[in-house]
Chains A and B, each alone.
Chain A
Amino acid sequence: MFETVVKVLADYKDLSPDDITAQSTFEQLGVDSLDTVELVMTLEDETGIKVEMNEKLKTVGELVKLLEEGRA
């Protein structure tokens, strides 16, 4: 799942995948709150998983966890 998130995020924001870790915050990556929702919807389309998100989502790792919980 982490790889999928990194791939989608890197593609969306023209980032280098190497710069993205589970600890990276969206703020550090230049992903604002509107972008975060866009990212989540893109990942949902890609994975078929539905997640319950709120404003507390701050890091890549938290997003990966949300998606994994959604799959279960």
Chain B
Amino acid sequence: MIHTAICELLGIRYPVLQGGMAWVSDASLAGAVSNAGGLGIIAAMNADGDYLREQIRQTRALTDKPFGVNIMLMSPYAPDVAQVALDEKVPVITTGAGLPSQYIRAWVQAGIRVLPVVPSVAIARMVQRMGAHAVIAEGGESGGHIGELNTMALVPQVVDAVDIPVIAAGGIGDGRGMAAALMLGACGVQMGTRFLVAHECAIHETYKEKIIKAKDIDTLATGRRLGHPVRALKNPFTRAFYAKEYDAGVSDQELEAYGAGALRLAAREGDAQKGCFMAGQIAGLVQRRQSAAEIINEVTGQAETLLRGACQWVK
């Protein structure tokens, strides 16, 4: 059994978080992960407060265990969903795409555990000072919106820079990745891509099939030009986006507009042509559909075996 400071902090059995994923992680997936002893996280994405309130209530109907809400700070509804999360007194909030300066104090005062996703040492230090309870250091291997550094380089540097627990994210898909993350100094892991194929994950079948079929080289990061790159499976949509990105005749606004709604098309409609199937580089390792509980048990069990065996190298 692997037990770390994150288990204590969040009141969970296994130090495994299911990352908030727009159009993907709703009450069904989050509730299943929390029931399995990890931390399920509902994505507030770009939806309004009513959507989030409904998802929180559904999650509470599914589980009495702690769960989290992921708030995208760039969302036009961020102030609205920030308030809903506060009113509902959710146990945990993770934040993405920005600094939570405006909201963090109120959340912390309400007793909510706040875990910002951070792409750099300076941002980790800054959110620690704002009162964050832990940080999620997410490397650019991951699916969705990504930072510049990779997990291997980012995690130990963040661990050295802050006094609060660090959770590693990006490119972790099995017990080997989890064991490695712990060796880098993390107290837990957050996975996204691996949970895409969970039975309780309500995305379109085509999306799951594509993840299972994907190989190591099948993802591409696009949108660097817009300042917020996204990693997704290569398909007609990402290839066209990539071409437009390097076409000076296409304005930034046109490029943004071209990408809008593409994740929804992938997750809901399974649109192989126009959908943006966000996924991390670890997709090639994901081979089987399993329940959230099977995923968590397998990953933590393997990590435990590996860590126990690690002294074989030390003579």
The closest CB in chain B to the CB of A41 belongs to B122
The closest CB in chain B to the CB of A32 belongs to B227
Question: Measured between C-beta atoms, what is the minimum distance from B162 to chain A in Å?
Answer: 12
Are A34 and B148 in touch, CB under 8 angstroms?
A: yes
Which A residues touch B119, using CB under 8 A? 34
Question: Measured between C-beta atoms, what is the minimum distance from B55 to chain A in Å?
Answer: 26
Are A55 and B99 in touch, CB under 8 angstroms?
A: yes
Question: Would you call A33 an interface residue if the criterion is a C-beta within 8 Å of the partner chain's C-beta atoms?
Answer: yes
Are A37 and B102 in touch, CB under 8 angstroms?
A: no
The closest CB in chain A to the CB of B123 belongs to A37
Are A38 and B99 in touch, CB under 8 angstroms?
A: no
Which B residues touch A52, using CB under 8 A? 101
Q: In whole angstroms, what is the CA distance A54 to B97 when docked?
A: 12
The closest CB in chain B to the CB of A38 belongs to B122
Question: Measured between C-beta atoms, what is the minimum distance from A64 to chain B in Å?
Answer: 18
* Given contacts A32-B227, A53-B99, A54-B101, A41 and B126 within 8 Å (CB-CB): yes
List 27 A-B pairs, Cβ < 8 Å.
A34-B119, A34-B120, A34-B122, A34-B123, A34-B147, A34-B148, A37-B99, A37-B120, A37-B123, A37-B126, A38-B121, A38-B122, A40-B122, A40-B126, A41-B122, A41-B125, A41-B126, A50-B129, A52-B101, A53-B99, A53-B101, A53-B126, A54-B99, A54-B101, A54-B102, A55-B98, A55-B99
Total CB contacts across the A-B interface at under 8 A: 31
Known contacts A53-B99, A54-B102; 4 additional CB pairs below 8 A are: A32-B227, A38-B122, A53-B101, A54-B101
- Interface residues, chain B, CB within 8 Å of chain A? 98-99, 101-102, 119-123, 125-126, 129, 147-148, 227
Are A33 and B227 in touch, CB under 8 angstroms?
A: yes
Q: In whole angstroms, what is the CA distance A55 to B98 when docked?
A: 7
How many residues on chain A are close to B (CB under 8 Å)? Answer: 12
Which B residues touch A40, using CB under 8 A? 122, 126
- Quick one: which of A32, A37, A54 has the most chain B CB within 10 A? A37
Question: Measured between C-beta atoms, what is the minimum distance from A68 to chain B in Å?
Answer: 18
- Quick one: which of A41, A52, A53 has the most chain B CB within 10 A? A41
Which A residues touch B122, using CB under 8 A? 34, 37-38, 40-41
- Binary contact track A10-24/B, C-beta < 8 Å → 1, others 0: 000000000000000
Which A residues touch B102, using CB under 8 A? 54
- Binary contact track A38-72/B, C-beta < 8 Å → 1, others 0: 10110000000010111100000000000000000
